């Protein structure tokens, strides 16, 4: 087990002890969890934070003056402050809590999109997008008479920036792209994309679901207008996430939903809306999971993003080299700049069959189109097998996967 200790400044073996779910057998084999692009496993600190909230100070927030309500409110707002620092927002009020990246994108579509995008305007997205960064803009375009333009994907899984430049015009009102592809791992040059979009007066939304736990995020340096993210892809709970937005934009956008907390004053004649961020946080939020999200952010910070990234990149390069030795295997999206995602097909074998047979050996991967059907059509494939790595994964686990793949190919061909 020499490969799981003190690598790239971290002790992977010690980190693994913080993830109780990893210590189990699946189909009689030790679990190797390679489905991290779908969701990370959770460290004990996150699990304990949830337990402590529900066991010790469960209460609704912002409304009560009693001790439990004040304690819950402080813990909830501490997460907002921590997340603001994590992505370097100018102020905590620019952080809106949502159910996750999908709702964050829908919030912008339903508010900014419907108010500021009109008939004849254009929205630019990319061929790498998850369905959640396609469908909301289609809804806005259908409702307002706008047009969707798409940045092409090159053969290596990167965006065609030259073609993107040709799409930009005075008609462009919004550019919505992901920071990194969930299907291929490609890291997009969002700093360049943002700068080019701003030259024509367009606003930019970045889907950061895949990037937030892996890359340094500085929304002020990027100068993005919106940044959407999910907790569960950052070692945090499911069902919560956030939208970052520049204050002036959030203040100009109408409310997303009506209800409690998002108001200052209500009468039957007129309602006065609350200040940001509360204007966009109607109803009782997912309090416990938001509070536990802070523990996940603290975990990442304590281990160190640069250490995590170095370890994950080592795993990716190791897996790539080994995978290319398998007969008939083709990597889809082989950019030089990517996250720890190995997406591949094997000639003559359906990805689903590979996924099932890997699971029989205790190895969890994702198969299918990964909610990126247009991208699969671009490569003329039904889907891929996707192995995605996290800080707690090891080369020993990768060796098990590669050995299993060799056996699967030999058996099915």
pLDDT at 252: 96
Q: Mean pLDDT in each 10-residue stretch from start to end of the chain (413 residues)?
A: 58 96 96 98 98 97 90 97 98 98 98 95 98 97 97 97 98 98 98 98 98 97 98 98 98 85 67 80 93 98 95 97 96 95 96 96 96 95 97 98 96 81
pLDDT at 267: 64
* C-alpha distance across the termini of the chain, in Å: 33
DSSP state letters, 137-190? HHHHHHHHT-EEEEE-B-TTS-B-HHHHHHH--TTEEEEEEESB-TTT-BBP-H
Write down the domain spans for the chain.
2-30+304-412, 48-301
Is the preceding omega at residue 274 within 30 degrees of 0, hence cis? Answer: no
pLDDT at 143: 94
pLDDT at 1: 33
The three-point CA angle 351-402-211 to 5° equals 70
pTM: 0.95
Tally of CB atoms within 10 A around 62: 18
Residue 234 appears among annotated catalytic residues: no
pLDDT at 265: 67
Fold of 2-30+304-412: 3.90.1150
pLDDT at 2: 38
pLDDT at 257: 80
Structure tokens at 271: 């309602």
Pairing of strands 363-364, 271-273: unpaired
Q: What is the pLDDT of residues 78-122, one digit of tens each?
A: 999 999 999 999 999 999 999 999 999 999 999 999 899 999 999
DSSP state letters, 246-291? -HHHHHHSPPSS-SSSSEEEE-SS-EEEPPTTGGG--SS--HHHHH
Q: CATH number of the domain at 48-301, please? A: 3.40.640.10
User: Could you check whether 2-30+304-412 and 48-301 share the same CATH topology?
Assistant: no
Instruction: Measure Cα distances from 246 to 202, 243, 282, 298 in Å.
Output: 14, 10, 20, 24
Catalytic residue among 263, 371, 376, 381: 371
- Coil, helix or strand at residue 384: strand
């Amino acid at each position: 087990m020499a490969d799981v200790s003190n690598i790239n400044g971290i002790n992977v073996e010690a980190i693994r002890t913080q993830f109780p779910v990893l210590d189990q057998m699946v189909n009689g084999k030790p679990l190797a969890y390679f489905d991290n692009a779908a969701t990370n496993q959770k460290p004990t600190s996150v699990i304990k934070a949830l337990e402590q909230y529900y066991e010790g100070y469960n209460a609704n927030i912002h409304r009560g003056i009693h001790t439990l309500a004040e304690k819950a409110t402080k813990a909830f707002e501490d997460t907002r402050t921590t997340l603001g620092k994590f992505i370097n927002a100018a102020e905590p009020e620019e952080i809106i809590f949502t159910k996750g990246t999908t709702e964050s994108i829908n919030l912008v579509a339903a508010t900014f999109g419907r108010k500021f995008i009109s008939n004849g305007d254009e929205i630019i997205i990319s061929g790498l997008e998850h369905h959640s960064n396609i469908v909301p803009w289609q809804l806005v375009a259908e409702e307002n008479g706008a047009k969707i333009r798409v940045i092409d994907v090159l053969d290596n899984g990167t965006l065609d920036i030259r073609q993107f430049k040709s799409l930009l015009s005075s008609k462009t009102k919004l550019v919505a792209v992901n920071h990194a592809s969930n299907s291929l791992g490609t890291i997009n040059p969002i700093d360049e994309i943002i700068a080019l979009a701003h030259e024509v007066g367009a606003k930019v939304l970045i889907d950061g679901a895949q990037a937030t736990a892996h890359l340094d995020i500085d929304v002020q340096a990027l100068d993005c207008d919106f940044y959407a993210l999910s907790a569960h892809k950052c070692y945090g709970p499911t069902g919560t996430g956030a939208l970052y937005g520049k204050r002036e934009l959030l203040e100009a956008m109408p409310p997303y939903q009506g209800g409690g907390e998002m108001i200052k004053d209500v009468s039957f004649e007129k309602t006065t809306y609350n200040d940001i961020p509360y204007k966009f946080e109607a109803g009782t939020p997912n309090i416990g999971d938001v509070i536990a999200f802070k523990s996940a952010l603290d975990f990442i910070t304590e281990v160190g993003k640069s250490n995590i990234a170095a370890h994950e990149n080592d795993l990716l390069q190791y897996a790539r080299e080994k995978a290319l030795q398998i007969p008939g295997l083709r990597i889809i999206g082989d950019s030089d700049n990517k996250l720890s995602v190995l997406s591949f097909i094997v000639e003559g074998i359906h990805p689903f069959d590979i996924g099932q047979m890997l699971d029989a050996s205790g190895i969890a991967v994702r198969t299918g189109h990964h909610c990126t059907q247009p991208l699969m059509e671009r490569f003329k494939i039904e889907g891929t097998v996707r192995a995605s790595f996290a800080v707690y994964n090891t080369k020993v686990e990768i060796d098990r996967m590669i050995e299993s793949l060799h056996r699967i190919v030999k058996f099915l061909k």
